[in-house]
Structure formats: C-alpha cells, structure tokens
C-alpha cells in the first residue's frame, strides 16, 4: 500500500538530530493545541519545516539557534531550482519565520534569521488568449442548422465580443439585450450594472438564436434567461465550459481554453488594436462604478466607437 504523506514526513522527522527534532515537535504541538489550526495547515507546516531542518542538518547545523539567513536563502534557491512555484516558496519562508518567532519567544533562539527576508515576488502568469485566426475557427465550430448550435454560436460570439464573465452571461435576461442600440445591460460583480457594447457579428448571431433557436428550446416553465438548455432551463457555468471545450475540439485548437480565455482574448485584441487600458478596464467591468454613475457619466457612444474601431469583430 502507498505510504501517506503524513507517514513520510514522520519518517523524515525521525532522521533529524535531537537538537532540531525537539523544537519542531514543540512548535507543531503548540500550533495544534493553541492555534486550533486545520489538519491541512498543520501538515503544511510539518512538511515545510521538516524540509528546512533537513537542509540545516545537511550543513551540520545542530540547533535552530545556529541557523542564518544564508541557510534559508540557499534552501529557497534550491527549491526554486526544483521548479516550486513562487507561492510555494513564499509559504515556506512564512513557515520558517513563524517557527523561529516561536523559538525566540520561548527563549530557544536569540534571534529570527528569517525576520528581514522578503518572500519571492509572485510572478503573475499571463493569461492564455487566442489569435484572431483561432477565434474565427472557434466561431465556425457550432453547427447553426439546429437550435443548440445557434445557441452555442451566439454564446461564443457574445463572450468574445463583450468580454463577459461566465457568471454575467448565464444571468443575462432578454430585457438586458439592447440589440437595437448595440448594447448589453450587464449585472457584474458586487451587483454592479454596466453597459457593454457588442459588435455586429455578435448581434446577428444573438438575433438568429432568439429568432430560430430559443423558441424551440423554450418550455412553459422557462423564464426570461437568454440562453437555455434542451430542457428549457438556464445554463450552468459548467454548461458554458462544456460548450467552449466542445467548440475548441471541433476547431482542432491545440491550446487548452476555457470561457475565460475568450474574455482574455477580447481584452488582448483590443489592446493590440490600440485601445487604452482605461477603456478596456471599463469594458471588462473592473471599475468600481455604481448603476447611477454608469448612466450619468459613461459615454456609451464613445465606448461603442472604441469597440467598433479596435475589436476585430466590431
């Protein structure tokens, strides 16, 4: 039977010198009894500190009081070279800092060698996005000869044309579609409303779905939700994910994509086209603007013009 992580860590601890093992046990016991930590958090401390103390033992350090900031930085560099993420490195350093702080308070250490050390800066991974050519292939994937295909094409076009979040898409109601003016009323995060322009191609696809697809999916129990499943009910987040995945497979896209990929592609293509960050922020709904501010201060004609000029399918 496979050995559990906990048993492996216990085995690691047993190989430590007494001068390192005893402080570790004292720290973990204190964390468990006094801090009421979850088993997962406690296990993370055990794992991080066992690794750290083994490194000290390998350098002939007999007690935590002999550890230096150089010892800690060498460990972090070693872990980085092994491919551990910046977030994991930061957590390891946090564990080491807390361990030494505990020992200083207990009088077992004269100083905390990790106190002045800064955690590695977290690198922000650039989100994946599709090229304009890949977008075109993706949009052609659904078959528009049947209701679900009309729906899926409208969903993909709308996600890319507007940069909507999935949560915003699945809560769209028919009264939110201001297609005559080329706008959507979107209820975003924090129950904030904004107006979002959409391009001609997305409008045409949504209109085709409303005219030829949705009536065949609608049922007596259906509400005003725009996008329905075959039972006449609103779609879930997972449904949108499945629709996106299915279209990507049909389009033979090699990239792993999600609905959020279309949001990133929307922003990236606007930026590449020359739109400024403030306009893109407004379109994505990142600005903290209330409903009344939207109608009073946002120049929707200007945003529509920005969308028309810079969006590939505007």
Residues assigned a catalytic role: 165, 189, 260, 263, 286, 295
CA torsion angle 74 80 86 92 (round to 10)? -50
The sheet carrying 183-187 orders its strands as 177-178, 183-187, 193-197
Phi and psi of 168, rounded to 5°?
Answer: -75, -35
What angle (nearest 5°) sits at the alpha carbon of residue 246, between those of residues 196 and 203?
30
Task: Report the distance separating Cα 113 and Cα 61, nearest Å.
Answer: 14
| Residue 126, token pair as written in the block | 């650039």
Range list of H helices, 59-186: 69-81, 86-106, 132-139, 147-162, 166-170
SS3 state at 272: helix
Q: Judge contact between 132 and 284, C-beta under 8 A.
A: no
Q: Judge contact between 204 and 150, C-beta under 8 A.
A: no
Neighbours of 185 (CB within 10 A): 16
**Nearest partner of 129 among 242, 262, 310, 284, judged by Cα:** 262
Phi and psi of 286, rounded to 5°?
Answer: -80, -20
Burial environment of residue 117 by CB neighbours within 10 A (0 to 12, 13 to 18, 19 or more): middle
Task: Report the distance separating Cα 211 and Cα 197, nearest Å.
Answer: 21
Give 293's Cβ-side CA count (13 Å radius).
Answer: 8
């Amino acid at each position: 039977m496979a050995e559990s992580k906990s048993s492996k860590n216990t085995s690691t601890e047993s190989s430590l010198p007494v001068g390192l093992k005893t402080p570790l046990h004292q720290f973990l016991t204190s964390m468990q009894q006094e801090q009421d930590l979850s088993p997962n958090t406690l296990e993370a401390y055990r794992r991080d500190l066992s690794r750290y103390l083994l490194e000290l033992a390998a350098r002939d350090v007999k007690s935590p009081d002999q550890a230096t900031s150089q010892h800690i930085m060498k460990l972090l560099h070693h872990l980085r070279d092994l491919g551990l993420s910046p977030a994991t490195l930061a957590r390891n350093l946090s564990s080491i800092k807390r361990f030494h702080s505990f020992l200083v308070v207990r009088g077992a250490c004269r100083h905390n060698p990790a106190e002045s050390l800064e955690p590695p800066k977290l690198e922000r991974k650039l989100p994946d996005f599709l090229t304009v050519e890949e977008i075109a292939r993706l949009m052609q994937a659904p078959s528009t000869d049947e209701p679900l295909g009309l729906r899926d094409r409208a969903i993909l076009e709308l996600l890319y044309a507007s940069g909507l979040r999935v949560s915003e898409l699945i809560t769209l109601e028919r009264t939110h579609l201001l297609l005559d003016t080329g706008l959507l009323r979107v209820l975003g995060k924090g129950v904030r409303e904004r107006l979002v322009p959409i391009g001609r191609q997305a409008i045409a696809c949504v209109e085709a779905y409303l005219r030829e697809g949705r009536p065949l999916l609608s049922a007596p129990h259906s509400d005003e939700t725009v996008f329905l499943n075959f039972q006449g009910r609103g779609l879930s987040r997972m449904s949108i994910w499945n629709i996106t995945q299915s279209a990507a497979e049909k389009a033979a896209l090699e990239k792993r994509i999600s609905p959020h990929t279309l949001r990133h592609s929307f922003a990236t293509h606007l930026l590449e086209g020359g739109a400024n960050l403030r306009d893109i922020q407004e379109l994505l709904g990142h600005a903290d603007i209330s409903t009344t501010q939207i109608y009073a201060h946002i120049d929707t004609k200007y945003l529509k013009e920005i969308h028309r000029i810079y969006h590939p399918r505007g």
